[in-house]
């Protein structure tokens, strides 16, 4: 029986899915971990650990390299919370364009007035909360994955013109885009031509401080920047300078820092929220159910979908016994595995071997239960990281 451990709140639906597969919710030496934003460390690893599923898209809270070294599959759940993030980006564009926050604070400040006074003051003052519409404006989307693509569709329905930038776009993601999206060859073009810029990139060495002084210098005047992706993608002090110089007219983010809070208190041009992009009931259920399904498929059948460190693996089950071998992608390993199986007089009914960078996984279907002796022999090789039967 497999054991799983959860960090953060994982939805009841996901827990029931695992429990109905007879998995045990147990903290001690789990085979699988399911997490949301809890930062995992090597201390959370154990000898039995086979998979980590991150219920969300970003995975910078998981030590992926260490997991790969230990043959542990890391999953994420791309797309499962994209609609929630998309909706908050639209809200962010509106918050940065209309006097919603300021108007609300102003209305609340009139609590000591009677209705006639309130109406009079409101009518007189409402001009100071005037904003602009989204229709007809240009939205630059950096990162055209699942959120970027949904956002492009929604913005297009709102009558916006869209410019997109994504040098790593997959063919599938490109198919999902509305045909009106103009392709930016570089970020300078996107920033120089957009009234709104929304960032949808993961935090990595490539994207850290992606939006900093040099790039901000190319901004179209009075642009508004929305960053609900990761805090480190934007250099906050450079953004504050750009606000100060009126290059940028508003910055909306769900990654507050002390300097951004100071700016938001002293000027109305920074809108701060907790990291709420994916915080909807629907997204939390979608992400955790997807994480649970991927975990179950891997533990029960060795199948992999949406891993950030392993290849996708699909193999329909033809027999009752399947050996799952995680190993380094080294020449000769596969030959050694299959000859050990043959030495035991066992016939391979079906098999698959897939690799990604330096890691590989092999599934072998057998008609008969492989003896422990065989598993030990396969395991007895410096390149093999784990062997199990499921």
Closer of 63 and 277 to ligand MLT (Cβ): 277
d(CA 311, CA 73): 9
Nearer to ligand MLT, 178 or 231 (CB): 231
Q: Give the C-alpha separation, 258 to 352, whole Å.
A: 52
Q: Verify binding: residue 148, ligand MLT, rule CB under 6 A.
A: no
Q: Mask: binding to ligand MLT, 286-325, rule CB under 6 A, as x and -?
A: ----------------------------------------
Residue 37 interacts with ligand MLT (CB under 6 A): yes or no: yes
DSSP string, 136-154: T-EEEEE--SHHHHHHHHH
Least distance (Å) from ligand MLT to the CB of residue 84? 8
Closest to ligand MLT by CB, 56 vs 148, is 56
Q: Which of 38, 98, 153, 275 is catalytic?
A: 275
Tell me the window of 54-62, 89-97, 149-157, 162-170 that interacts with ligand MLT (CB under 6 A). Answer: 54-62
Measured CA distances, 375 to 340, 341, 351 (Å): 9, 9, 16
If one counts every other C-beta atom within 10 angstroms of the C-beta of residue 127, the result is 8
Reported for 314-320, long-range contacts at CB under 8 A and 24+ positions apart, including other chains, are 314/352, 315/350, 315/351, 315/352, 315/363, 315/365, 317/365, 318/349, 318/350, 318/365, 319/349, 319/350, 319/365, 319/366, 319/367, 320/367, 320/369
Segment interacting with ligand MLT, rule: CB under 6 A, options 10-18, 50-58, 156-164, 299-307: 50-58
- For residue 291, the Cα-to-chain-centroid distance in whole angstroms is 12
> In this chain, which of 143, 277, 302, 370 binds ligand MLT, going by CB under 6 A?
277
Q: Which is nearer to ligand MLT, 190 or 228 (CB)?
A: 228
Q: Quote the least distance from Cβ 55 to ligand MLT, whole Å.
A: 7
Choose which of 3, 5, 36, 137 interacts with ligand MLT (CB under 6 A): 36
Contact criterion met (CB below 8 Å) for 49 and 4: no
Using the rule CB under 6 A, is 194 a contact of ligand MLT? no
Q: Between residues 8 and 301, which has the closer beta carbon with respect to ligand MLT?
A: 8
The residue from 230, 263, 322, 327 that is catalytic is 230
C-alpha separations of 315 from 61, 111, 358 in Å: 30, 66, 21
Residue of 65, 244, 259, 373 marked catalytic: 259
57 counts as binding ligand MLT under rule CB under 6 A = yes
* Positions 80 through 119 that interact with ligand MLT (CB under 6 A): 81
Interacting span for ligand MLT (CB under 6 A) from 40-48, 52-60, 112-120, 163-171: 52-60
CB 238 within 8 A of CB 214: no
For the question of residue 275 being annotated catalytic, the response is yes
Question: Taking the complex as a whole, how short is the minimal distance between the CB of residue 214 and ligand MLT, in angstroms?
Answer: 26
Q: DSSP strand E in the chain: where?
A: 3-6, 24-25, 32-35, 51-54, 73-75, 138-142, 161-165, 182-183, 196-199, 223-227, 248-253, 270-272, 321-328, 348-356, 359-366, 384-389
Does the active-site annotation cover 153? no
The CA distance from 57 to 202, in Å, is 8
Regarding 6 and contact with ligand MLT (CB under 6 A), the answer is no
CA quadruple 62, 66, 68, 73: dihedral, nearest 10:
-40
The two tokens of residue 132 are 């602009």
What distance lies between CA 273 and its chain's CA centroid? 18
Q: Is 259 a catalytic residue?
A: yes
State which of residues 7, 34, 58, 271 lies at the interface with ligand MLT (CB under 6 A).
Answer: 58
Binding track over 227-266 against ligand MLT, x by CB under 6 A: ----------------------------------------
- Residue 16 three-state SS: helix
Stretch near ligand MLT under the rule CB under 6 A, chosen from 25-33, 56-64, 137-145, 149-157: 56-64
Q: How far is the CB of 56 from ligand MLT (least distance, A)?
A: 3
Residue of the chain from 4, 15, 30, 56 that contacts ligand MLT (CB under 6 A): 56
Query: Residue 101: which residues within 8 A CB-CB, separation 6 or more?
Result: 95, 268, 271
Active site residues: 230, 259, 275
Residues that bind ligand MLT (CB under 6 A): 36-37, 56-58, 81, 277-278
């Amino acid at each position: 029986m497999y054991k799983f451990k959860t960090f953060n709140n994982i939805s009841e639906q996901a827990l029931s899915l695992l429990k109905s597969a007879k998995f045990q919710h147990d903290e001690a030496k789990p085979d699988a971990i399911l997490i949301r934003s809890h930062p995992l460390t090597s201390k959370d690893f154990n000898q039995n650990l086979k998979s980590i599923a991150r219920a969300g898209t970003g995975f910078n809270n998981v030590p992926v390299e260490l997991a790969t070294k230990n043959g542990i599959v890391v999953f994420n759940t791309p797309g499962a919370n994209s609609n929630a993030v998309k909706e908050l980006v639209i809200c962010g564009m509106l918050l940065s364009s209309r006097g919603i926050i300021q108007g609300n604070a102003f209305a609340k400040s009139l609590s000591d007035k009677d209705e006639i006074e309130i109406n009079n003051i409101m009518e007189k003052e409402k001009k100071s909360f005037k904003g602009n519409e989204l229709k007809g404006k240009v939205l630059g989307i950096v990162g055209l994955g699942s959120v970027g693509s949904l956002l492009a569709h929604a913005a297009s329905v709102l009558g916006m013109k869209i410019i997109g930038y994504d040098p790593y776009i997959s063919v599938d993601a490109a198919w999902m885009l509305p045909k009106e999206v103009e392709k930016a060859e570089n970020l300078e073009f996107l920033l120089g031509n957009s009234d709104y810029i929304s960032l949808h990139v993961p935090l990595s060495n490539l994207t850290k401080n992606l939006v900093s002084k040099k790039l901000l210098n190319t901004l179209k005047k009075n642009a508004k920047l929305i960053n609900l992706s990761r805090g480190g993608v934007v250099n906050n002090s450079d953004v504050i300078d750009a606000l100060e110089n009126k290059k940028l007219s508003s910055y909306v983010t769900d990654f507050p820092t002390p300097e951004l809070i100071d700016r938001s208190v002293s000027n109305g041009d920074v809108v701060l929220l907790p990291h709420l992009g994916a915080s909807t009931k629907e997204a939390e259920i979608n992400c955790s159910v997807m994480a649970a399904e991927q975990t179950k498929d891997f533990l029960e059948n060795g199948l992999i979908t949406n891993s950030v460190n392993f290849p996708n693996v699909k193999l329909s089950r033809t027999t009752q016994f399947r050996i799952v071998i995680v190993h380094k992608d080294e020449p000769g390993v596969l030959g050694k595995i299959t000859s050990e199986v043959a030495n035991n007089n066992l016939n391979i009914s079906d098999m698959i071997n897939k690799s990604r960078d330096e890691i590989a996984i092999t599934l072998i279907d057998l008609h008969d239960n492989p003896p422990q002796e065989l598993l030990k022999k396969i395991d007895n090789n410096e390149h093999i990281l784990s062997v199990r039967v499921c």
